[in-house]
């Protein structure tokens, strides 16, 4: 088995962040590129907030909150004061977290791209891998519901993902250009991982860019997706509810069907091992390994399991 020389990961938020954190314990971070979802981004009091990028950065820096978002042990003095003033406070932002958004927004205001500001944040946190937003352009995820179209955070945080959804759309997809390095990282890697992220609102926004989808199709790397659904439930977030609402089977098999034709290997958790033949019947390889990323060791073990499943020596 060869060692991978270049690994690219299509990343959502928390699940992807944990997978990437495991990966950088197993292979040199310089070999890894994370392509991040920006569909969840929001403007909060004039500040550019990128929840998925920040989950990745904070987790790679070892400072993520215990739920996977925000900064561990962060205070909320600014937010509490804002609430007392009658200001908008439905989106929870801690004081240290706030510095990230102030820093990023200031860079953008000075003419930097989102890629530039993301790279600057990664550098400031001493992160060794390359972290790139899928696009420097606006490319929001719109959640279609019975109550009308909602911006992602409006659906996910303000409404607590409690509104039944009927679809997801990406109105910016036709015009948003992949950020510098995105297409190359996807096309020219040895291993292209689709992180255990929500297929609809984390991975679809990436694939919604035609040049990204083409690069995945043309990638010279082995294309591996890791199921975010384990035992019929999502580890984190609304993926299971979305599968159900959008008419998919709420299982790893349901996810595999979504990626059918796009990937070479689908990785399920061992608890779903009985689904392997059904996934293989979709025309892809399938393997069941332990995918539970509990703690640093769990994350490392899962990264190692995925690399082994993909045939790499680490």
Provide the 3-class DSSP secondary structure of residue 147.
coil
Provide the 3-class DSSP secondary structure of residue 97.
helix
By CB under 8 A, the residues from 71 to 100 that bind its own copies are: 74-75, 77-82, 84-88, 94-96, 98-100
Residue position matching structure tokens 């089977």: 249
* Number of residues in contact with its own copies under rule CB under 8 A: 30
Residue whose CB is less far from its own copies, 46 or 111: 46
Residue position matching structure tokens 């987790």: 59
How open is the CA angle 232-53-5, to the nearest 5 degrees?
85
User: What one-character-per-residue DSSP string does 19-67 give?
Assistant: HHHHHHHHS-GGGEEEEE--TT-EEETTEEE-HHHHHHHHHHTT-B-TT
Is 46 an interacting residue with respect to its own copies (CB under 8 A)?
Answer: yes
Minimum distance of its own copies from residue 38's CB (angstroms): 20
Among 42, 68, 91, 103, binds its own copies (CB under 8 A): 103
Please identify, among the stretches 33-41, 45-53, 136-144, 237-245, the one whose residues bind its own copies according to the rule CB under 8 A: 45-53
Exposure on the CB side of residue 240, measured as CA atoms within 13 A? 11
Cβ 33 vs Cβ 8: under 8 Å: yes
Minimum distance of its own copies from residue 152's CB (angstroms): 20
Please identify, among the stretches 41-49, 200-208, 240-248, 304-312, the one whose residues bind its own copies according to the rule CB under 8 A: 41-49
Minimum distance of its own copies from residue 98's CB (angstroms): 5
Is 28 an interacting residue with respect to its own copies (CB under 8 A)?
Answer: no
Contact pattern from residue 108 through residue 127 relative to its own copies, giving x for each residue in contact according to CB under 8 A and a dash for the rest: -x----------xx--x---
Is 282 an interacting residue with respect to its own copies (CB under 8 A)?
Answer: no
Q: What is the DSSP letter of 139?
A: -
By CB under 8 A, the residues from 139 to 158 that bind its own copies are: none
Burial of residue 156 (number of CB atoms within 10 Å: 0-12, 13-18, 19+): buried
Minimum distance of its own copies from residue 61's CB (angstroms): 11
- Quick count: other Cβ atoms within 10 Å of Cβ 104? 23
Residue whose CB is less far from its own copies, 91 or 246: 91
Minimum distance of its own copies from residue 123's CB (angstroms): 9
Among 1, 102, 162, 233, binds its own copies (CB under 8 A): 102
How open is the CA angle 208-132-33, to the nearest 5 degrees?
100
By CB under 8 A, the residues from 178 to 237 that bind its own copies are: none
Cβ 247 vs Cβ 207: under 8 Å: no
For strand 229-230 and strand 233-234, is the pairing parallel, antiparallel, or unpaired? antiparallel
The strand pairing partners of 57, in sequence order, are none
Residue whose CB is less far from its own copies, 82 or 258: 82
Binding site for its own copies (CB under 8 A): 45-47, 74-75, 77-82, 84-88, 94-96, 98-100, 102-103, 105-106, 109, 120-121, 124
């Amino acid at each position: 088995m060869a060692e991978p020389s270049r690994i690219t990961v299509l990343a959502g938020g928390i699940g992807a962040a944990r997978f990437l954190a495991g990966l950088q314990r197993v292979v040199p971070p310089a070999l890894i590129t994370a392509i991040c979802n920006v569909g969840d981004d929001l403007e909060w009091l004039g500040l550019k907030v990128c929840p998925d990028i920040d989950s990745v950065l904070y987790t790679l820096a070892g400072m993520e909150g215990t739920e996977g978002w925000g900064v561990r042990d962060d205070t909320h003095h600014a937010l509490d004061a804002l609430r007392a003033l009658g200001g908008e406070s439905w989106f929870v932002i801690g004081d240290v977290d706030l510095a990230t958004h102030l820093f990023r927004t200031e860079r953008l205001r000075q003419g930097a791209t989102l890629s530039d500001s993301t790279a600057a944040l990664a550098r400031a946190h001493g992160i060794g891998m390359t972290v790139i937003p899928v696009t420097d352009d606006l490319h929001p995820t719109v959640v279609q519901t019975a109550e009308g179209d909602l911006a992602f955070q409006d659906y996910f945080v303000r409404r607590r993902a409690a509104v039944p959804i009927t679809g997801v759309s990406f109105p910016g997809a036709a015009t948003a250009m992949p950020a510098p390095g995105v297409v190359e990282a996807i096309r020219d890697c040895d291993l292209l991982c689709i992180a255990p992220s929500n297929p609809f609102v984390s991975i679809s926004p990436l694939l919604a860019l035609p040049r990204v989808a083409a690069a995945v199709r043309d990638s010279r790397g082995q294309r591996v997706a890791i199921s975010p659904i384990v035992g019929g439930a999502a580890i984190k977030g609304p993926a299971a509810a979305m599968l159900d609402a959008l008419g998919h089977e709420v299982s790893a098999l349901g996810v595999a069907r979504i990626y059918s034709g796009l990937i070479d290997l689908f990785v399920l958790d061992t608890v779903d091992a009985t689904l392997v033949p059904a996934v293989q019947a979709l025309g892809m390889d399938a393997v069941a390994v332990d995918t539970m990323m509990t703690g640093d060791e769990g994350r490392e073990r899962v990264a190692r399991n995925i690399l082994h499943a993909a045939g790499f020596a680490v």
